[in-house]
Chain A
Amino acid sequence: MSEFNITETYLRFLEEDTEMTMPIAAIEALVTLLRIKTPETAAEMINTIKSSTEELIKSIPNSVSLRAGCDIFMRFVLRNLHLYGDWENCKQHLIENGQLFVSRAKKSRNKIAEIGVDFISDDDIILVHGYSRAVFSLLNHAANKFIRFRCVVTESRPSKQGNQLYSLLEQKGIPVTLIVDSAVGAVIDKVDKVFVGAEGVAESGGIINLVGTYSVGVLAHNARKPFYVVTESHKFVRMFPLSSDDLPMAGPPLDFTRRTDDVEDALRGPTIDYTAQEYITALITDLGVLTPSAVSEELIKMWYD
């Protein structure tokens, strides 16, 4: 490994471990970077991390949750740097703790499942939008506890993550039905609660997630159905979008340029959207069940102390 490439490392981590989320992969990649590059001074280390983070964010189109991971690692590094007088010690500590952090983050999903299981009760019909490992682990956990509930899974275009979740739930033996995204409005009255995952949780408590989450959120809000976000706390990100068009995206949200190539799929448009905090009932995280406004508190605590 003569030339270390942060993006490649990151992608390889994601490939190797399907259970791994983007922020964790990013942290893991950064820890690997530290191990390989062995920076000599604190300033050099900070600079290395900074530049690699930027490189990584630039190279990955959907960078929201990735950014959360990088932010957390950076914060972790900055906070720990001055604790040790001895530089070698410090570096060793950072690498070890970085890995500890990764393993802990992986466990957080189980914790979420334990915390969130109280939100699912017998005879519930649960609408799920998109495929989130956190949501699945929660549903899985509930099923293991012999809670009898049924699921409505949206197709979640354009990524079609819904199909994946559908088959997983089917295997688990949970009664499940697949609907198209545009049918959410038609079934929302029959649904008891809505669960979604998140790619990132913004400072306001709003979430950044797969496109369509916002519409589901608005429909749930309108039908007075509880809308729960199931997410790990390392996805909290120091961003504050006001609406979906504030999100970092590859192109403009609406592209009206005329197509030159004869591609079958004429679909264009954003792949993520932002759901504001007023549509969210609660966030089920490994820190506990939080109201949207508590996210900012956690972030502030994380960043300034």
Chain B
Amino acid sequence: MSESEAKSGPTTLSSKAKQAATAATGAAANGEKKLTNKELKELKKQEKAAKRAAMKQANGMSIEQQQQQAQMKKEKKQSQREQQQKREQKLKNASKKKQNERSVKKSTLFGHLETTEERRATILALTSAVSSPKTSRITAAGLMIPVVASALSGSNVLTASSLTPMGSSTASAPAAAVPASATAPTIAPSTVLSAASTSTSTNTSTAIQQEISSSSASDVAKTLASISLEAGEFSVIPGISSVIPTVLEQSFDSSSLVSSVKELLLNKDLIHPSILLLTSHLAHYKIVGSIPRCIAMLEVFQIVIKDYQTPKGTTLSRNLTSYLSHQIDLLKKARPLSVTMGNAIRWLKQEISLIDPSTPDKAAKKDLCEKIGQFAKEKIELADQLIIDNASTQIENSTTIVTYGSSKVLAELLLHNAISLRKDIKVIVVDSRPLFEGRKMAETLRNAGVNVMYALITSLDTIFNMDVDYVFLGAHSILSNGFLYSRAGTAMLAMTAKRRNIPVLVCCESLKFSQRVQLDSVTFNELADPNDLVNIDYENPVERRGNKGALLKQFIKERRSEKKKLDLENKPKGNKTGSKNGSVEENKDTSNEGDSNDKNILDGWQELPSLNIVNVLYDLTPPEYIKKVITEFGALPPSSVPVILREYKGSA
């Protein structure tokens, strides 16, 4: 026994050193000492091992016996480590839950809606699980996704240092343990995931080289790391580096959410990589707008169907639907499905069910892909054309048109009228925080030479004094009761226009018609990140949608608080490391924060009691404010939406 103790001594120590990096901050100082002496210890260890082996052989133990013994010890160690880890985690969870109760806020009014944080955590869990399929599993303790095997732990320090140029942290190798949880976790997930995504399981150094060389992998790693950061709290347990459990357990306060994620994880092997990519694009608002989202989805479905293989014992028409359902479950986690996507999915499933089981798979797949293409063309491209033709009759020469936000079909309509038909139109693009989609619209129109005025919705009253002839609106969806479900702010615009007797016209493909009936914008809506309303990044608001700035800020904030703790607990050393860490990047950000401190009064809103921030994406406009809805079926009053739905149940 003493032998085993002696042998395992150095290894446990070294692994403890890394645990210390994330876990107990008090141990951080200790850890540093050990880490700096690491190489020395390694040498000593080897020496000792050799000695022991020699001793044992002298005692009459065969090599085989020795190996057996070693194996047993190894296993024991492993189980010990796991137990310890569980204990630590429990402790941490308990302490963090308390913190969480205070820090994670959810408006009671919108309590039934999924928050961005929850969504992000889900995606993180899934993405990491899918990119390292072999190691993830569900244990009694919760979701365990040990992304990198313990084999990696030996070279963890190296990883940290080699990753620093990637920009996620400024820590240098010897100091890796000292900046404690602030730096180490950021590094770890990215290492872990990149290693997993390059699908090398054991050799870290090569994995990292690969990762650095292949920018896409590091991109994934970065985004994932950022998501985990965004989710607020995180922890990485070296050895079995599992990023997810803590994040999951903190972000998901409802058990139903956890179970849905678990279910998704169970089916993760079925998920097509292109769906994963699309999910990430959607979640990061790289693809926005209900029509572009729908088109992207249909394109990905074409790929998925092409790659699909019917398992033995079933037919394509039966199995493909459920296979697609798994993909859709994942897509739902990025953002709630848009109505267009929902309608397209419903159509596709019907098409699949109509396939004759006797058709050979290849033919059926080809047929389906063609049909999808045709669907997109008919329902979107041609529909847009008809809408534009119809709406153009409404626009006379020298009219002033107000639009809100950005809409694909509206941009095309206005361009068509201004350029092809040479009408002298003036467009006022009304925009709003925090998405600033109107900028894109204004830019597109301006580039084509249209007379554009850009204004924020706050100046609405003034805008309507400018001799406006029409208000043209895009739509996310039109509900069965004629309500228009569109970007938040639309209702305000429509009501103001109605008050001044300015006709409000909505351009909308019938694909956007929804069977749903809704009377207020609370029962169903989408919550965006409340932090978007807090930080005003005047430089590049669109970029901020990627949450890079917010991430960095949060990261720095966390690190700063961590540093403060260190300073308090360990004054001489903490000071030293603190100054070490304060590299160029941090200095830059301090100045940035200094600036923004003047503006962002709400910065610490998570900690402020009795303050909630709600950032909803959509609102409802009652039909009495809408004069007409222009669809590919012609111009209709909003009350005719259910008629279209009823008459075209089969096709739409």
Given contacts A203-B636, A304-B633, contact A296 B643 (CB under 8 A): yes
Given contacts A204-B628, A240-B628, contact A300 B637 (CB under 8 A): no
Q: Which residues of B contact A204 (CB under 8 A)?
A: 628, 637
A293 close to B647 (CB less than 8 A): no
Main SS of chain B's interface residues? mixed
Q: Which residues of B contact A293 (CB under 8 A)?
A: 637, 639-640
B628 close to A305 (CB less than 8 A): no
Q: Which residues of A contact B635 (CB under 8 A)?
A: 203, 240
Is residue B644 within 8 Å, beta carbon to beta carbon, of the partner chain? yes
Is residue A258 within 8 Å, beta carbon to beta carbon, of the partner chain? no
B640 close to A242 (CB less than 8 A): no
In-complex Cβ contact of A300 among B503, B628, B640 (8 A): B640
Is residue A148 within 8 Å, beta carbon to beta carbon, of the partner chain? no
Q: Which residues of B contact A240 (CB under 8 A)?
A: 628, 634-636
Closest chain-B Cβ to A286's Cβ sits at a distance in Å of 20
- The number of A-B residue pairs with CB atoms under 8 Å apart is 43
Is residue A145 within 8 Å, beta carbon to beta carbon, of the partner chain? no
B628 close to A242 (CB less than 8 A): yes
Q: Which residues of B contact A238 (CB under 8 A)?
A: 634
A296 close to B628 (CB less than 8 A): no
Is residue A98 within 8 Å, beta carbon to beta carbon, of the partner chain? no
Q: Which residue of A lies closest to B627 (CB)?
A: A242
Interface size class of A (residues with CB under 8 A): 10 to 19
Is residue A281 within 8 Å, beta carbon to beta carbon, of the partner chain? no
B503 close to A242 (CB less than 8 A): yes
Cβ contacts A34-52/B at 8 Å (1 or 0 each): 0000000000000000000
Q: Which residues of A contact B636 (CB under 8 A)?
A: 203, 240, 296, 300
A301 close to B647 (CB less than 8 A): yes
Closest chain-A Cβ to B178's Cβ sits at a distance in Å of 70
For the complex, give the distance between the alpha carbons of A300 and B640 in Å. Answer: 9
B647 close to A205 (CB less than 8 A): no
Is residue A99 within 8 Å, beta carbon to beta carbon, of the partner chain? no
8 A Cβ contacts from A54-89 to B: none
A297 close to B640 (CB less than 8 A): yes
Closest chain-A Cβ to B384's Cβ sits at a distance in Å of 19
Q: Which residue of A lies closest to B503 (CB)?
A: A242
Is residue A277 within 8 Å, beta carbon to beta carbon, of the partner chain? yes
For the complex, give the distance between the alpha carbons of A205 and B627 in Å. Answer: 12
Q: Which residue of A lies closest to B636 (CB)?
A: A296
For the complex, give the distance between the alpha carbons of A301 and B643 in Å. Answer: 8
Q: Which residues of B contact A303 (CB under 8 A)?
A: 634
Cβ contacts B452-478/A at 8 Å (1 or 0 each): 000000000000000000000000000
In-complex Cβ contact of B639 among A243, A246, A296, A301 (8 A): A296
Q: Which residues of A contact B633 (CB under 8 A)?
A: 300, 304
Q: Which residues of A contact B644 (CB under 8 A)?
A: 300
For the complex, give the distance between the alpha carbons of A238 and B635 in Å. Answer: 9
B627 close to A300 (CB less than 8 A): no
A277 close to B643 (CB less than 8 A): no
Q: Which residue of A lies closest to B501 (CB)?
A: A243
Cβ contacts B496-530/A at 8 Å (1 or 0 each): 00000001000000000000000000000000000
For the complex, give the distance between the alpha carbons of A272 and B637 in Å. Answer: 22
For the complex, give the distance between the alpha carbons of A246 and B399 in Å. Answer: 14
For the complex, give the distance between the alpha carbons of A293 and B637 in Å. Answer: 7
For the complex, give the distance between the alpha carbons of A238 and B628 in Å. Answer: 13
In-complex Cβ contact of A305 among B394, B503, B637, B647 (8 A): B647
Cβ contacts B601-628/A at 8 Å (1 or 0 each): 0000000000000000000000000011
Pick from A204, A240, A303, A304 the residue with the most CB of B within 10 Å. Answer: A240
Q: Which residues of B contact A203 (CB under 8 A)?
A: 634-637, 640
8 A Cβ contacts from A194-215 to B: 203-205
For the complex, give the distance between the alpha carbons of A243 and B627 in Å. Answer: 10
Q: Which residues of A contact B643 (CB under 8 A)?
A: 296-297, 300-301
Q: A296-B636, A300-B647 are in contact. List 16 more A-B contacts (CB 8 A).
A: A203-B637, A203-B640, A204-B628, A240-B636, A242-B503, A293-B639, A293-B640, A296-B639, A296-B643, A297-B640, A297-B643, A300-B636, A300-B640, A300-B644, A301-B643, A304-B647
Chain A residues at the B interface, C-beta cutoff of 8 Å: 203-205, 238, 240, 242-243, 246, 277, 293, 296-297, 300-301, 303-305
Cβ contacts A to B, 19 pairs, < 8 Å:
A203-B634, A203-B637, A203-B640, A204-B628, A204-B637, A205-B637, A240-B636, A242-B394, A246-B394, A293-B639, A293-B640, A296-B636, A296-B637, A296-B639, A300-B640, A300-B643, A300-B644, A300-B647, A304-B648
Q: Top 8 nearest A-B pairs by Cβ distance? A: A293-B639, A240-B635, A296-B640, A297-B643, A204-B637, A242-B503, A300-B643, A296-B637
